[in-house]
Amino acid sequence: MTLHEKVQNLKIRAENLGNLQSRVIEVSQLDTRLKELSEKSVGLSDASTKAVFFRSAGLIMDTAPTSVARVHVQLNKVRTRFAVTRTATTLTQRDDWYRLLSEMETAVKEIRSRNEKSWRGYLDSLFTGESPNQMQARMAQTDYNNKVFFHYNKLFEEFQNLKRQLPNDMVEFEKAKKVSEQLKSIAKEFDFNVPHAVKVFLKAVSQGGASLDMVTEEVHSWLVSNGQVDWYRVVARP
């Protein structure tokens, strides 16, 4: 029987003894201890369950934090003393109870941190391509590239969102694999085979306008070859 169950049973027994003032106080104190333990237990259980799930899914996990061992030490101290004298006061003797709660809280934080690190590491192993900003800095602002970039940017944001929340089942693992493969595929569609002068011209246009001296013979020939010469017009600067 767990400590949680023992405290619960003792609370019920005390309630059944009637409304004597001492028993009323005892029930109240036990109820407080029970709530304190329940709050920490839920968080620790959820974090530990997630860690077990990640291991079963094949993720690389760090070893359990030392706080987990300290939780067991404090728990054994409290449980041993409580087995001898089953009162609420016994639970909180020598600060072991509050140390137990503190260590449980620390363990939850550390296990969650390891879970997050493991999940991010897994996603990084699926895709480590350039960010949209990096991609945009390298590519020429052609109509074709801009269309490809729109889809790349959308998929990249979807992939980043996966990093912000831990998965609950294998469906989300499969989604991560699918999105990463789509990103790898669409990254190959960008056309980087554009003359430097053209790239400079197109970047200037995208940022508000290019000066006439940027329209070199090479740039003009490229615009004609790609059917884009009529896309631009000369406008006097204010």
Q: What is the pTM of this model?
A: 0.73
- Tens digits of pLDDT across the chain (238 residues): 676 676 677 667 666 655 555 666 777 878 888 888 889 999 999 999 999 999 999 998 988 899 999 999 998 988 888 888 888 788 887 788 899 999 999 999 999 999 999 999 999 999 888 889 888 877 887 888 999 999 999 999 999 999 999 999 999 999 999 999 999 999 889 887 788 888 888 777 766 677 888 888 888 888 888 777 777 777 665 4
Contact 229, 215 (CB under 8 A): no
SS3 string of 77-90? HHHHHHHHCCCHHH
The Cα 95–Cα 146 span in angstroms is 64
Sign, Cα dihedral of 41, 42, 43, 49: positive
| HSE, side-chain direction, 13 A CA sphere, residue 98 | 5
